[in-house]
Amino acid sequence: MTIRTDLSPHSPSLPRALILTVSFVQGLLMLALDWARAAGRWPAGDPQAVYTLVSMLVAIPTFFLLLIDENNIQRALGALVMFALVIFGVAAYVGYQTGPVADINSYDWAPVFVLSIIIFSFKALLYAQQYSFDNPISYPALLHYSWRNFLLMGLALLFTLLFIGILRLWGALFDLIGISFFSSIFTQAWFLFPAGTTAFGFAIIIFRSLSSVIDSIARLLLTLFKFLLPVLALIAVLFVVFLPFTGLQSVWDKDIGSGLFLAIQALLLFGINSVYQSDAKTQPYPLLLHRLVYLSIAVLPIYSILALQGIFIRIAQYGLTMARCWAVLLATILLSFALGYLWSIVKKRDQWLQGLAWVNIRMGLLLMILLLLVNTPVLNMQALTANSQLNRVTSGGITLDKLDLNYFRYSLGRQGYQALQTIKTTYGASNPTLLTAIDQLYAVPVQAKKLTSVNDLRARIISWPAGRTVPAKILQQIYDGASALPDFIGYYAIFIDMNTDGQEEIITVFENPSTYTRGLLWTSVNGEWRQQFYQFENILVPPALATAIDKNQISVVQPVLNNVRIGAMEIYPLPVATEKFLPLSDPSTRP
């Protein structure tokens, strides 16, 4: 019996009307979601619903466009339903982990989720395409589909961007002659969403119909990798040869050591799979280069072991972070590939490509499973990271003031929120400063207001000690320079003897809700007020600065570094914020 496959150079039988209809409806649904967001209606404000709907609207139609064929509709729809159920479940869980919006905001999870779903969808499509034609899973087909799908997606996206760019050019040209009708239409969401998705669907039809051209481009890229693989193999082997003479200390002294090990290993594995595909008779190189590639495969496990060693050294020193969790997972996957290839070479010698196919098919399935598990409770990396950092405190590895609260707040989502609540419950009674600092992390930011006059500044400035009056000349100078500064949310004047000479100085602080706070130190010299500019990183979330001043949490701190005078020149360190109201970030906990 002849097995129907989409591997032939002939154009597949495409249901063009169905593909265009699905693309157009996809654009309409995305437009409806955007309108709901802009109007503040559901699902706006519900991150679980937003993650779920956006993921399904992007992933499922795209999966369908690349899978559907007039000869596989029934089995393709079955695969599509299974894929949709998986995307729905994973996206719903991830959305739950990033809400509620009022308390939780995870900047790290969204890109990780998007990347993992893209890779999972790409791998799932390879298996679904073979299933839809009722073909057994074969490594040659996986390779063929992987290159074809990659190029199809890339070219379709490029076509869509060019299409939108041409429309923008159209509108801009007519703007030059006073006709704004076209530019007005081409920038509206109601036009861009359906037009963009329909253009993408049209591009899929075009490029799927040109499958022989796509396959020719893939062969060209594979030819380029044929020349690059020996270079990669030589680099991998030479590094291992020189390593005993240089040692590893210089590697561990650099934070990028493990990353470089993983990068060279990933590139080498990719090159091997591109050049040596599935034909045991394949001899793309002379015997010497062929043996060099064999040797590079033999040293691949060394790179994985070195990478894991470096990662675990950092984990032992500073605990888990999201980046280290991903590094462990990636290094383990690459080690599994390398060991599988090495086993195949040892066992089958020149027939090792048969083993390569066996390893890649199963590792592909394992990779899909792992990419799903990291977005489920089974392998929730945010939970692993939060627990690891808390264990560092409970075990005495670090003190509370070294714990990076901002990392919990902005990188660990719901798990970070729950961990901070645990810290409050456990240590809040004995450490009220820490309790207040955590509360401030979730405080609603205060909005900046523009100064309208010197009297407005006089009314808004908060003095310490209370009741002290800021000299009129200082207020006037601040207001005169306000036009060159951004709007601030708070103005403070602190009267304090900075150098213990018996004469008060005045520190005026301008609080900004973003990343920095400005200040001026005013000293009286012969009856004239002179100023010195300060700027320091925000470590107090508004209105925590006002709260600290109200509680008299102000003191003079002896500087660690004194000034140095060289002739008439005086060298002094830049002012650094040393507030203890909120623990400073521990750089070791950052990815």
Which of these, 538, 529, 478, lies nearest to 506 by C-alpha position? Answer: 529
**Is the pLDDT reported for residue 117 higher than 80?**
yes
**Is the pLDDT reported for residue 293 higher than 80?**
yes
Query: What single-letter DSSP state applies at residue 505?
Result: E
Most confident of 326-335, 407-416, 495-504: 326-335
**Could you tell me which residues come within 8 angstroms of residue 491 by beta carbon, excluding any fewer than 6 positions away?**
457, 460, 461, 462, 478, 508, 509, 510, 511
Domain-embedded: residue 70:
yes
**Residue 524: predicted pLDDT:** 84
Number of domains in the chain: 2
User: Domain range for residue 59?
Assistant: 1-209
Which of these, 388, 326, 383, lies nearest to 589 by C-alpha position? Answer: 388
Domain-embedded: residue 225:
no
Burial (CB count within 10 angstroms: exposed 0-12, middle 13-18, buried 19+), residue 397: middle
**Is the pLDDT reported for residue 559 higher than 60?**
yes
Mean pLDDT of 449-477: 88
**Is the pLDDT reported for residue 33 higher than 90?**
yes
Query: What single-letter DSSP state applies at residue 580?
Result: -
- Rounded to the nearest angstrom, the gap between the alpha carbon of residue 97 and the centroid of all alpha carbons in its chain is 16
Lowest mean pLDDT across 188-192, 368-372, 476-480: 476-480
Residues 438-448 pLDDT 10s: 887 777 666 67
**Residue 11: predicted pLDDT:** 45
Mean pLDDT of 459-485: 85
Domain-embedded: residue 110:
yes
**Between 13 and 462, residue with greater pLDDT:** 462
**Residue 526: predicted pLDDT:** 81
**Residue 586: predicted pLDDT:** 37
Domain-embedded: residue 551:
yes
Q: Could you give the percent of the chain with pLDDT greater than 70?
A: 88
Which of these, 271, 274, 7, lies nearest to 141 by C-alpha position? Answer: 7
Q: Is 247 left (phi over 0), alpha (psi -120 to 50) or beta?
A: left
Say if CB 102 and CB 113 are below 8 A apart. Answer: no
Domain-embedded: residue 256:
no
Q: Could you give the percent of the chain with pLDDT greater than 90?
A: 42
Give the max Cα distance, the chain. Answer: 104
**Residue 536: predicted pLDDT:** 64
**Residue 578: predicted pLDDT:** 35
**Residue 584: predicted pLDDT:** 30
> Count of alpha carbons within 13 Å of 473, Cβ hemisphere only?
9
Lowest mean pLDDT across 177-181, 248-252, 543-547: 543-547
Cα first-last separation, the chain: 55
* Confidence label for 82 from pLDDT (cuts 50, 70 and 90): very high
**Residue 189: predicted pLDDT:** 92
Domain-embedded: residue 164:
yes
Domain-embedded: residue 241:
no
Which residue do the tokens 């400063």 mark? 433
**Residue 66: predicted pLDDT:** 94
DSSP string, 445-499: PPPP-----HHHHHHHEEEESTT----HHHHHHHHHHGGGS---SEEEEEEE-SS
Most confident of 119-128, 512-521, 582-591: 119-128
Most confident of 422-436, 483-497, 566-580: 422-436
**Residue 164: predicted pLDDT:** 95
**What CA–CA distance (Å, rounded) separates 355 from 349?**
10
> Count of alpha carbons within 13 Å of 424, Cβ hemisphere only?
14
**Between 353 and 320, residue with greater pLDDT:** 320
Which of 172, 191, 209 finishes a domain?
A: 209
Pairing of strands 505-511, 516-525: antiparallel
Which ranges of 177-282 does DSSP label H, i.e. alpha helix? Answer: 181-186, 189-209, 211-246, 249-252, 257-275
Lowest mean pLDDT across 128-132, 391-395, 422-426, 516-520: 516-520
**Between 383 and 538, residue with greater pLDDT:** 383
Q: What angle do CA 173, 177, 178 make, to 5 degrees?
A: 110
Mean pLDDT of 184-209: 94
* Other beta carbons within 10 Å of 579: 18
* Confidence label for 93 from pLDDT (cuts 50, 70 and 90): very high
Compute the radius of gyration of the chain from its Cα atoms.
Answer: 31
Domain-embedded: residue 43:
yes
Residues 491-530 pLDDT 10s: 889 998 887 778 888 988 887 765 567 788 888 888 788 8
